[in-house]
Amino acid sequence: MNPTRRRTMLAWIAALITIDLATKIWATATLDDAPTTLPGPIDLQLSYNSGTAFGLFTNIPPLLITAATLTIALAILRAAWNSRTPTGPATLIIAGALANTIDRLEAGSVVDMLHTGWWPTFNIADIYITTGIAWWAITATTADHSISPTIEATSATQQPQT
């Protein structure tokens, strides 16, 4: 990945983290008194998750969860910078992971506020991660793996011979 694409990716990650953290600040200030019922399948209800996805692993120390999350996020970032992963999905996953990590470091838990009643309460960063994983899976299963990116780039620049 060239330096311009790297800067663009980092800018998107920063913007997505800002959006997530802003919604968590808003939720903490606004939803502390009572949940808010919205039309549709999602309500707003403040919750704190000291575990990982779906409230799992609440007995694991936050520092260990943080270390594991940062290790995975950095591995995905490195792979994206070396053009071994799709940039869009990697950006979403990294932004979600880092936003939840920042929240966990600040309070020891992650603020969740989107409540369905039939699914664990979640936040915007969780949407980033889930969407990124789904997008990556779709990309991986629909991509043409018969031609390597190096060959495609080389053949695209060659002029047909007449």
3-state secondary structure of 58: coil
Backbone angles phi, psi at 115, to 5 degrees: -120, 130
The tokens for 154 are 């080389």
The tokens for 116 are 């369905």
Q: Which of 20, 103, 112, 144 is catalytic?
A: 112
Residue 10 burial (C-beta neighbours within 10 Å; 0-12, 13-18, 19+)? middle
Q: Catalytic: 33?
A: no
The tokens for 151 are 């060959």
Which residue, chain included where needed, has tokens 């409230």?
55
Which residue, chain included where needed, has tokens 């899976």?
137
Q: Catalytic: 126?
A: yes
Provide the annotated active-site residues. 112, 126
